[in-house]
Amino acid sequence: MPRKYSQSGYMDSERDNKPASRPEKSEFKVSGRVETKFNLVTRCNNCAAEIQVAGQIQVIDRCKNCGNDLHSCRNCRNFDPSARNECVKPVEARVTSKNKNNFCAFFEAKTLIEKQGSGAAPAVSSRPVDPHRQAFLDLFKS
């Protein structure tokens, strides 16, 4: 009887006659699955630099990268622009400057969950920059 398709296992009679064979260890495929790890990170709201503060953020703390105040509404977990007084907690008086230090009792540092190895700071390349590219980048420096 001629075969309609050429792949093995098409006809039941061929499948039943073949002895079951186990693949060799070299034939097993290893999946490319990589375990993803996550970190809790506190970042500056202005420059996105990672904040390394032991314990809690104090009122006098400033970002080491940009010098911005860290104990401010924009770095707080309770900050919500759509809420009353722009805070989730029942704040009686509205804080006018959200980027400046304040003495709010409800302040909790905003923590983010990030993949390990991901970060806001771009990787620095070791290769030299093309002079034409550097001239273009210099146009937009502030």
pLDDT 10s digits, 95-132: 888 888 888 888 888 888 888 765 544 444 556 778 88
Does residue 84 lie within any of the structural domains?
A: yes
Q: Which residue has the higher pLDDT, 54 or 20?
A: 54
The model's pTM: 0.52
Residue 36 pLDDT exceeds 50 = yes
Q: What is the pLDDT of residues 12-21, one digit of tens each?
A: 565 555 555 5
In a domain, 31, yes or no: no
Provide the residue range defining the domain that includes 64: 37-115
Residue 70 lies inside a defined structural domain of this protein: yes
Indicate the number of domains in the chain. Answer: 1
Residues in contact with 111: Cβ distance below 8 Å, sequence separation at least 6, in sequence order:
40, 41, 42, 77
Instruction: Give CA–CA dist 98/69, Å, rounded.
Output: 10
Domain for residue 74, yes or no? yes
> Under a CB-based contact definition with an 8 Å cutoff, are residues 123 and 98 in contact?
no
- 66 assigned to some structural domain: yes
Please report whether residue 4 resides in a domain: no
Residue 57 falls within a domain, yes or no? Answer: yes
Within a domain: 50: yes
Closest CA to 72 of 48, 53, 45, 93: 45
